[in-house]
Amino acid sequence: MRIRDIPDDFIVEEVPSIEILQKGKYPVFKVSKVNMTTFAAEKVLASHCGVNFKRIGVAGLKDTHARTAQFFSVETSEPQKGVFEEKNVKSELVGFSDVMLRTGSLKGNKFTIAVRALREGEVSRAQKNIEWVKKGVPNYFDSQRFGSLKGTDGFIAKDIILGDVEAAVKKVVSATNRHQKSVVRNARKFIDAHWGAWALCEGYLRKEGLERTNEMAIVSHLAKKPKDFDGAFDLVFGGVRELFFSSYQAYLWNECVMRLMKKLSKSFFSVKYEAGRLFFAREMSLSGTFPLIAGDMRTSKENMEIIKSVLKNEELKVEDFFSGKYTFIARERDMVVVPEKFSFDVADDERHKGFKKCVVSFYLQKGSYATIVLKSLFEM
């Protein structure tokens, strides 16, 4: 079984929540890209429009290794400049809006995904699962939410909550993964091997031309103040720090919902993901919402018992999620997501002789993961 064999195997198109008008204050562009990050596409659009990237609004981030279409608004009086086509990216003017796009300005996303190199038995299993999947699947956070775990042995946010800021900082500057450039990966290995020898690490980073990196900022700070790990952690970009905490909230939410599902359902299968294993029940009784853990959340007695049980395994308490410095936002998340406009087609796989290909299409509300639908279907 193969997913994302080629970029065209994973197609995503945003459905914006703003009204797109024929006239308005801000031009709105539909930007189609492949093998390119959202930030890179934003930079290209800013360059064509001749504006600072801060004058560009975008509703969300999209996968690099996919063919995606997303919407950008630009603060410019020359919208024609934003219409262009070059390698890996195309931009077209689709209308105007009276408001700038902001993070979360989405209704949802349309997905068309080709799953390749399937054996007959794998196709049959997916076909048997179609009916229950169409009724709704657990609305888990999937591996994409847990990028900060790559190359580490735990959550950075948990270290912070437990007061081990040094462990958190070490993860920030020494964790390695295959997606990093070799010069960065080697530098992080050097920092890990010479932890505490800050002047030595600083010299190595300078020799490798990494003076303007976050690694250098943190190492230089510790060279001057060797015990100030709180100050070193504060040097991490604010948006990245927020991701550390939101990803830990997401993990705990997954664990809570799995426990509740196990109480309400009888048979399960499980699949691996970045933060452990996810459990699925073909006959679910889940409904409603479950809160992301925060110090000021309000929820039922039954939910609180599940939360306390999960936190006990983490050696934490609900009170630990009160923090004047690092914010855990209390909000509710639907426990079940229904893939709308669902279709499932089977064909011979032209890229893998003797195997089948399934093309799955559906729409999901924002914040839900297409890969969870695939895990439910193929039990992969």
Domain 18-104 falls under CATH 3.30.70.3160: yes
pTM > 0.85: yes
Please tell me the predicted confidence (pLDDT) of residue 324. 67
In this prediction, residue 177 carries a pLDDT of 87
Give residue 349's pLDDT. 97
Is residue 63 part of the annotated active site? The answer reads yes
Low-confidence ranges of the chain (pLDDT < 50): none
C-alpha torsion sign, points 30, 148, 274, 2: positive
Domain residue extents for the chain: 18-104, 165-237
Neighbours of 63 (CB within 10 A): 16
Out of 63, 234, 320, 334, the active site residue is: 63
Model pLDDT for residues 111-160, shown as the tens digit of each residue: 999 999 999 999 999 999 999 999 999 999 999 899 878 778 899 999 99
Cα dihedral value 372, 376, 377, 378, nearest 10: 90
Q: Are 212 and 194 in contact (CB under 8 A)?
A: no
**CA nearest to 222, candidates 206, 211, 233:** 233
Q: Which two tokens stand for residue 345?
A: 């087609």
Phi, psi of 221 (to 5 degrees): -60, -45
